[in-house]
């Protein structure tokens, strides 16, 4: 791989890493929100939506991890 493509991939790698960090922060905040829902509301629609959001954010972060790993492998 030539240097211009390697540099372009490094820039994407850096951007994706930053995005993943931001996504993790949002997921952590959503988990705190979900965990602080009163016990009598666990099982409610509000709780279920928060749980679904946490699951979706976790999955999105996992996909970003895969993309980051693949970019790293491509530049080796």
Tell whether the model's pLDDT for residue 41 goes beyond 90: no
Which residues touch 59 (CB under 8 Å, ≥6 apart)? Answer: none
pTM: 0.84
Are 34 and 50 in contact by the 8 Å Cβ rule? The answer is yes
Q: What pLDDT was estimated at residue 76?
A: 83
Q: How many domains does the chain have?
A: 1
Tell whether the model's pLDDT for residue 75 goes beyond 90: no
Tell whether the model's pLDDT for residue 71 goes beyond 90: yes
DSSP 40: G
- Structural domain harbouring 36: 3-74
CA–CA gap between residue 18 and residue 15 (Å, rounded): 5
HSE (side-chain half, CA atoms, 13 Å) at 26 = 15
At 4-35, the pLDDT tens digits run 999 999 999 999 999 999 999 999 999 999 99
């Amino acid at each position: 791989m030539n240097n211009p493509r390697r540099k372009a991939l490094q820039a994407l790698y850096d951007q994706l890493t930053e995005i993943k960090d931001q996504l993790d922060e949002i997921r952590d905040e959503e988990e705190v929100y979900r965990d602080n829902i009163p016990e009598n509301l666990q099982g409610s629609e509000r709780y279920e939506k928060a749980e679904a959001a946490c699951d979706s954010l976790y999955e999105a972060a996992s996909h970003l991890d895969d993309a980051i790993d693949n970019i790293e492998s491509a530049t080796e």
